[in-house]
Amino acid sequence: MDSIEQLIKALTEDETKLRPAPHPFMQSLKWIVAAAAYLAISLVFFGLRPDIMQATENKWFIVELVTLFGIFVATSVSASLLAFPDLHQKRITAFAPIPVLVLFLVVIFLAWSADNPSALLPEHTYECTYCIIMVSLLPAIWTFYSLRKFASIHYRLAGGLALLSASSIGALWLRLYEANDSIIHVVEWHYLPMLVVGFIGLWLGDIILKW
């Protein structure tokens, strides 16, 4: 008991006025606004796909973009909740990415079914994955840096969702930049690598976010 009393005394002496961490919704809103600004700047810098007007006439393209943005929002909110030891006592909201990811899979499946006759496969392949990773790098670093200031007890999951959130920004940017409608190519070189990046986040979370 003495050692506990000594520790309490030492910790009390260390105590100073401390600003509480922001609410997770405010934190995720900050991430979303910053990522949206980053996306807008990237699109201004690199330009929109030349056939953007034509592409927006395809309803599946719009639905795909909306659900992809939904993944970004849901993963941001969930990662910020997971940054708190008690998930800010909003456990159910932390599961938000699951229904959005399921919806996204359904949308991709329907877009695939509607792709008849199939759009031509572009010649390039891994370059798309590379571009997504490059564009996602900055948001990923920022999100991890922010998460480290909290105290996540679900650090693997938080890391995975943070990288999924960052890579969804990269995927959004590429869909708006690259003139390509081949759903097979998009699944193979955009979305599957996005998921792989998410899995890498589980491992990075273990290394970077453990406290």
Which residue number, 17 or 117, has a Cβ lying nearer to another protein? Answer: 17
List, in order, residues 6 or more apart from 2 with CB less than 8 Å away: none
Min dist. Cβ of residue 88 to another protein (A): 7
Which residue number, 11 or 44, has a Cβ lying nearer to another protein? Answer: 11
Place of tokens 């699951």: 98
Contacts with another protein by CB under 8 A lie at 1, 3-4, 7-9, 11-21, 83-89, 150-151, 153, 211
Min dist. Cβ of residue 57 to another protein (A): 47
Which residue number, 88 or 190, has a Cβ lying nearer to another protein? Answer: 88
Does a cis peptide bond (omega within 30 degrees of 0) precede residue 117?
yes
Min dist. Cβ of residue 162 to another protein (A): 16
Which residue number, 23 or 124, has a Cβ lying nearer to another protein? Answer: 23
Min dist. Cβ of residue 8 to another protein (A): 5
Q: Which two tokens stand for residue 147?
A: 């998460």
Min dist. Cβ of residue 165 to another protein (A): 20
3-state SS record for the chain: CHHHHHHHHHHHHHCCCCCCCCCHHHHHHHHHHHHHHHHHHHHHHHCCCCCHHHHCCCHHHHHHHHHHHHHHHHHHHHHHHHCCCCHHHCHHHHCCHHHHHHHHHHHHHHHHHHCCCCCCCCCCCHHHHHHHHHHHHHHHHHHHHHHHCCCCCCHHHHHHHHHHHHHHHHHHHHHHHCCCCCHHHHHHHHHHHHHHHHHHHHHHHHHHCCC
Which residue number, 104 or 144, has a Cβ lying nearer to another protein? Answer: 144
Min dist. Cβ of residue 34 to another protein (A): 21
Which residue number, 119 or 153, has a Cβ lying nearer to another protein? Answer: 153
